[in-house]
């Protein structure tokens, strides 16, 4: 009979450990969910957006409250990457624009920007940025104060003109012109 008790005791111990492990996993899952919800709230506060779909889109694209200030720079980056890479002149202009928009050297946003200037952002970032920027512009958020769709289009045009061409002729490629047209349409579109 003692042998049977040992098996039963071992079985209870394994069962107890299983449920302790499941409890820890559940607690960790709840912590992650709470942290994600807080991050969405912080994004909403920072961007002026209250639409859960937009906040989820920002979160899904990897934006945090510390990096969401880069969102208005995404079309500029898109134009810079249009011809396969970012030139030194484009890089300098992007950094200057970022600094003027409050992106401090060494910050999380600065590190993200440096990564994006080295490695092209995912297509999803470019594809979804226009609608999200338009929503931020419409919200009147602090991050887009003193910034308009026309300003962003102008920055994009400046980046397109920064490199290329011979003696200033043909500086903006056909691909860049088409991209500029699409960006302008996205940024000037009104939400319905």
Every domain of the chain and the residues it spans: 52-188
Distance of alpha carbon 177 from alpha carbon 38, whole angstroms: 40
Q: How many CB atoms lie within 10 A of CB 132?
A: 24
Distances (CA, A) of 59 to 6, 83, 120, 176: 51, 28, 19, 28
What is the full per-residue pLDDT of the chain (192 aa) written as tens digits?
466 688 888 888 888 899 999 999 999 999 998 888 887 788 888 888 888 888 889 888 889 889 988 999 999 999 999 888 898 999 999 999 999 988 999 999 999 999 999 999 988 889 888 888 888 888 776 555 677 888 888 999 888 888 654 444 557 777 888 888 888 888 877 544
Q: How many CB atoms lie within 10 A of CB 120?
A: 16
Taking each helix axis from N to C terminus, what angle separates 52-60 and 2-47, rounded to the nearest 10 degrees?
110
Distance of alpha carbon 164 from alpha carbon 166, whole angstroms: 7
Residue 43's SS3 state is helix
């Amino acid at each position: 009979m003692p042998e049977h008790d040992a098996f039963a005791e071992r079985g209870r111990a394994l069962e107890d450990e299983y449920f302790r492990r499941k409890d820890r996993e559940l607690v960790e899952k709840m912590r992650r969910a709470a942290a994600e919800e807080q991050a969405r709230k912080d994004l909403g506060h920072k961007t002026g957006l209250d639409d859960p779909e937009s906040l989820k889109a920002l979160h899904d694209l990897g934006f945090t409250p510390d990096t969401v200030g880069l969102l208005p720079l995404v079309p500029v980056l898109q134009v810079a990457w249009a011809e396969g890479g970012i030139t030194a002149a484009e890089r300098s202009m992007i950094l200057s624009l970022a600094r003027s928009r409050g992106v401090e050297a060494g910050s999380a946003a600065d590190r993200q920007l440096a990564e994006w200037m080295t490695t092209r952002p995912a297509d999803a970032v470019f594809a979804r940025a226009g609608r999200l920027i338009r929503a931020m512009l419409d919200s009147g958020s602090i991050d887009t104060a003193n910034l308009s769709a026309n300003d962003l289009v102008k920055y994009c045009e400046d980046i397109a003109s920064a490199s290329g061409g011979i003696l200033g002729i043909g500086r903006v490629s056909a691909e860049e012109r088409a991209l500029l047209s699409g960006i302008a349409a996205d940024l000037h579109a009104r939400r319905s």
